Structure 1
């Protein structure tokens, strides 16, 4: 049976702003935990704990189904979400917080493009121009030596590539969330993400050099990473039920601002002019791509 909602676009935007804030806190906790723990171990902890959170929330909501109606699409959403999470967490442990966040948040441009194919939403010249501007912004942030020479410190191209791949996977997952609103409850959609991610990260985490977390790291993993991520995931799902896929994601760019502040306060990271210019290009490209 289709799921309907009477949420207004304004309430959807409020949910998206909240998601950006809690995701930024999650990123801080990932980077702190990643100073010693392998990123894939953090993915496993995040997925496993939020799986429990999601199950409890579904039972408290009294839903008549745990596994939903369109299981194939729900599994795909989970797989792309898991891939995006793996890439993003790895990038967070290897790149400056703000830079990793900006690169990951090229995903709204990819949302618009993928939605045009999957959901048959119109793709305009502004969306194409926006995609080009955002990718140029990534070049400014990464500062490859074959373009900039030695005039600016370059980011590792492998880490940048992983971050960009994560953005594409995240965009695909968000488009699937938008499609699933027609048949699934938001909590069921949220549940499939940690379900697939916990199963997928178990073997991959086992191949890393596992570390037993300290008390502080357990707090970071359970409360910081998993807790903040669960709140953000619910908020983004509710927001995407009320606002068009590509346009909705522009609001979450507030996470870039939060990330810059946290990076300075917690890690002493500063942002050079090239990164600022790149960030502005990414944000401008996304707004152009979602121009009314």
Structure 2
């Protein structure tokens, strides 16, 4: 099989450009996600998703009109598949937060690079290099060190849900390049926010007809129904909407610039970026173990951007025989 990195300009891997896009995404999302805790104190996840999506879609429509962007998909089915897959991944991710530790849920989501390699190898028949496998292993171990021992605790059926989220996220990432290569980033952005907005509206409707008693503060984020928005909610949701619009746009672009197996490893950088913002904004400190984990994440990104060695190419040829 011919490696897509050497075929033509349309499919050539631009790894460094993709890495820069992922870094921009991580810095933006790391900042905005730190303020979800402010929203979660008094409002619910479903209202947050519905409101954020509405704001993001309005902003996107204004930009599209002013800059002549194309929002209509070339392949509605492909964009819908990607949007629903990523939307479900985020729904499961946030839903699992209702009954699992944050560290465990995050560790499950960041199994996505492993699923990317497995899906590409055994479903798409794509060649993978030994260096890529090693980079994913190093990066995931770094994630575990950053998250701490609690990431490995609680091996129950519920613990499978974050891993399912990681698998769906991986499928969506592969679809970005394999199915939506001819789509614009703004088209996929629109699809992503439409799906999350619909999920938010459905959740609000269910909780309106079947109300439950939500816990006080952030503990009630998942099960809290709609409430009259105040200035704090509207401001930080708008910050989330505008930040997500730019950040998600960058990550979509990254997956169009290079293969998912390369880009997915770079996404580990969201953890150190979020931790850095947590330290700057909330004075949250890191342990020495977490710092070592971040160094391993950076090493994984550096390794995956390198060209395959002779030994790696031999291993790839042997794995195909």
TM range (shorter): 0.7 to 0.9
The CA deviation string for residues 162-220 of structure 1, in whole angstroms up to 9 with x for no partner, is 44333222221111111234321221122111112212321123324323332112111
Q: Which residue in 2 is equivalent to 1:73?
A: 78
Point out where structure 1 has 5 or more consecutive residues left out of the alignment. Answer: 148-153
- The structure with the largest alpha-carbon Rg is 2
What residue number does 1:204 align with?
203
2:15 touches 2:262 (CA, 8 Å); kept in 1?
no
Q: How far apart are 1:241 and its partner, in Å?
A: 1.9
Whether the aligned pair in 2 keeps the contact of 1:67 and 1:188 (CA below 8 Å) is yes
Q: CA deviation at 1:6?
A: 9.4
Please, which moves more after superposition, 241-250 or 119-128? 119-128
1:11 aligned to 2:17?
Answer: yes
The answer as to whether partners of 1:31 and 1:92 remain within 8 angstroms in 2 is no
TM-score, normalised to structure 1's length? 0.76
What residue in structure 2 maps to residue 214 of structure 1? Answer: 230
* Alignment match, 1:239: 254
Q: SS of the counterpart of 2:34?
A: helix
Deviation at 1:72, TM superposition (A): 1.1
> Which segment drifts farther, 120-129 or 34-43?
120-129
1:234 is displaced (CA, Å) by 1.1
Counterpart check, 1:228 vs 2:243: yes
> Match of 1:259?
274
Residue ranges of structure 2 left out of the alignment (5+ in a row): 1-8, 208-222, 309-321
Alpha-carbon distance in 2 for matches of 1:275, 1:99: 15
Aligned residue for 1:185? 184
TM-align CA RMSD:
3.8
**Number of positions where the alignment pairs a residue of Structure 1 with one of Structure 2:** 280
Given that 1:106 and 1:282 are in contact with CA atoms closer than 8 Å, whether structure 2 keeps it comes out as: no
Is the counterpart of residue 111 in structure 1 residue 116 in structure 2? yes
Partner SS for 1:115: helix
In structure 2, do the counterparts of structure 1 residues 258 and 134 end up closer, same or farther at CA, with 3 Å as the change threshold? closer
Question: CA, structure 1 residues 228+13, in 2 after alignment: closer, same or farther (shift >3 Å)?
Answer: same
